[in-house]
Structure 1
């Protein structure tokens, strides 16, 4: 009887498909060249490019904003840090001891400034940016750069969970929109310094972090709805690599904008061109939001213009058992968030928080975040103070690691998907191999930079190598959440990304504490060695405990109505499971 009902249902579905001119097989994708999920990937790429441009432009702009010939007094700085609970007598003693060490440093511990003929290149007409508006020293700059992450970590888990329950379209869209609005008003908040101190600017950066924090986990929840398992590495790399592209374009463009000398009587714009870094990228965020809301839906089932065959292909592929684990005959059932016969019963927090594979993800993400944000927020300062590149060269060369990261992430992701589909690697092995490539090679490059001294060409080569291999992470830990739990991928990503991004605040703050106004090779050597050591140790833990198998706590109970409804029990989902059982 059940077989007869299954056949009748399949015939009805096939008639519908034939009438629409589509292939009746749900295992075949649409023949359209531009698929709806490709539009999602493209807009996601642009969205993350924009949010990262809005995040990192301050790393370049702050060089032009700061007057390097003056510094705040220690008492003033201490009072401002104490307002946020970040300065204490113990820290003061630490800073004093570090400062005393710096006074005894040899003059050989600094790189000689290059002759102007060697550094001007084609930018000989650039103005001097050392006379910025604000007397912020390294610790104050580190505090400003790190304040973003207070808000960023707070909305990670809520953003992922809201997307799982209500859809990610609005969560991602509003996150980018609000980030754009806060970016637009950043120059005004910065210039309130003369009346209110750094407080208004810090608060604004925190709110910017709050709005941007929802975007990454919300997009992961959308991947669980839209991306077939054998396309995870590729589409994840394309979308999240948008962050790298945003970094690549933001740094040099910000460098160019900072060198525009605007009329002093334009209070909102002048006197420094650095304000354009905020106005231009903020406006682009608002424009992107309009396109996103017009073209994207929460899932294939709710998209008004998706090809029916593509919708069936996506939904069918998401409901199949994972065939790429190493234990054949014991396939875990993949639970698609789009299943109509499943209900969300919440999150089994005890099982989630005691899961060793999830802890492995969390720890390696902490190590990678520390290394990433060390470069993201501090590399322009290193280029300026140690290697003595001017701001134009600084902005272009600081973008080099991210350019290589972006370019290399795509072939790494194609290779990973091919190795999986061809059966050469299990999911677990693939995740560990590509994640290790993303950690070991960059960490060794950091060690090389630490001992490279003033050999700028060698340092640039190591930075390029580091950035290129870091792109393998999009085929490693970045897709691991979807493998562990498609149903809770957004929440899991939000949880691990929130905790790991605490390093986003600690890395620049620790760098500022180590350097503390004494720009020497030795101080920066400690910065790079600490970053490499943390990254390597935590990746070793990932190798030991990571997994690519769907965890038991991912599967929610079946809707009780389905159990009591014989017709509902024989859905297409059931047919697919029966076929898998027969074939095995």
Structure 2
């Protein structure tokens, strides 16, 4: 076998395996549901840590604030950009080591330490310590039926120590495409996440209370959309209506080119059209959840044995964009109340969304790569299709 993608298994074998998985599927509340709830709370707190400054900075720099209990800061737009980007300075450098540590020690201890360092995470850490687990095999209070169901769903995975094929990985066209599309996504996503409250305050003229509620609306819609798109993607691929590769590229295109169109529309929203602007922002963020069925699970498609390291690499590169984006916005905006300057911000994000997804459509793949196993051993296609639950971001 050369350095080419592994040929897919037959549709007959896939159908047989789906029938087997359905037969052994346990009923009722199980360990897998407890893990899902704990991970939901984990991500909830992780994202709260990321976005609290985006909302707080609106009040911190509000020159019209008459409340003497809260000090305001006379920060320029460039200074605000530096403050908003500061979270990612440390975030970037931990990505690759974290991927390696997760493969060596398992995800339980890493999540315990990272979330346990914040006050709200202390209660979660206690629950996670007692109820979290690295794998079904290590979990003590799991039924044999549920253990077999989860392990069959996860498919084959080599748990032996494998040397990371750095050169092959970093010179692989699908991996490079993954790095680029992840970076493009983060530029647009974090531009909106960090700057949306400022835009709503200065351009749309919304007060702090309405600003906070409407800034949260797009992300609530994003959550709702992910609950719909995830089973839809699984249905289309599991029933054979779409190939896995086409499905990844289709949903990724929806998740990046959809927001691109919304941002272009937002650039031309007439002054005073608050409802239209909020609607476009909601669309731009909401349908971005489709990327969870695109590039964000593609690491597992390409090399499940190295998915943790791959996520560390792509997330490290992508989060360089996360702190560059607010800095660029601060450089572009001399006057945060000027819609013409915001138009430039939206154009930049739309262009990056377009070209980032275009190269993923051209060069991206969803088949297991030869370097997944030691010395390029022959391997079969993954015995399941990763879904939104496996997108760790």
TM bracket, shorter-chain basis: 0.7 to 0.9
In the TM superposition, 1:254-333 aligns within 5 A as: 283-319=119-155
* SS of the residue 1:488 aligns to: helix
> What is the deviation of 1:442?
0.6
* SS of the residue 2:200 aligns to: helix
> What is the deviation of 1:132?
3.1
The reply on whether 1:53 has 2:48 as its aligned counterpart is yes
> Residues of 2 paired with 1:130 and 1:449: CA distance?
36
* SS of the residue 1:487 aligns to: helix
Q: Is the 8 A contact 2:77 2:336 kept in 1?
A: no
One of 70, 76, 91 as aligned partner of 1:137: 76
> Residues of 1 paired with 2:318 and 2:131: CA distance?
32
Greater CA radius of gyration, 1 or 2?
A: 1
Question: Which structure's relative contact order is higher, taking Cα pairs within 8 Å and 6+ residues apart?
Answer: 2
> Residues of 2 paired with 1:525 and 1:487: CA distance?
43
One of 376, 380, 384 as aligned partner of 2:201: 384
Extract unaligned runs of 5+ from structure 2.
1-19, 378-382, 384-393
The reply on whether 1:465 has 2:283 as its aligned counterpart is yes
* SS of the residue 2:162 aligns to: coil
> What is the deviation of 1:67?
5.2
Structure 1 match to 2:366? 548
> Residues of 2 paired with 1:451 and 1:317: CA distance?
47
Over 3 Å counting, the alpha-carbon distance change for 1:537 and 1:130 in structure 2 is farther
> What is the deviation of 1:479?
0.8
Over 3 Å counting, the alpha-carbon distance change for 1:426 and 1:130 in structure 2 is farther
The reply on whether 1:369 has 2:190 as its aligned counterpart is no
Structure 1 match to 2:255? 438
Q: Is the 8 A contact 1:453 1:521 kept in 2?
A: no
Over 3 Å counting, the alpha-carbon distance change for 1:403 and 1:535 in structure 2 is same
The reply on whether 1:504 has 2:325 as its aligned counterpart is no
> What is the deviation of 1:66?
2.7
> Residues of 1 paired with 2:350 and 2:274: CA distance?
19
**1:293-331 CA distances to partner (integer Å, 9 max, x unpaired)?**
110111111001111122122223434xxxxxxxxxxxx
Over 3 Å counting, the alpha-carbon distance change for 1:459 and 1:346 in structure 2 is same
Q: Is the 8 A contact 1:427 1:548 kept in 2?
A: yes
Extract unaligned runs of 5+ from structure 1.
1-24, 70-125, 181-282, 320-334, 560-576, 578-584
**1:21-57 CA distances to partner (integer Å, 9 max, x unpaired)?**
xxxx787434231121222111111100011112211
Structure 1 match to 2:307? 489
> What is the deviation of 1:127?
6.1
Tell me how many residue pairs correspond in the alignment: 359
> Residues of 1 paired with 2:169 and 2:44: CA distance?
31
Structure 2 match to 1:448? 265
RMSD: 2.3
Structure 2 match to 1:477? 295
Q: Is the 8 A contact 2:264 2:350 kept in 1?
A: yes
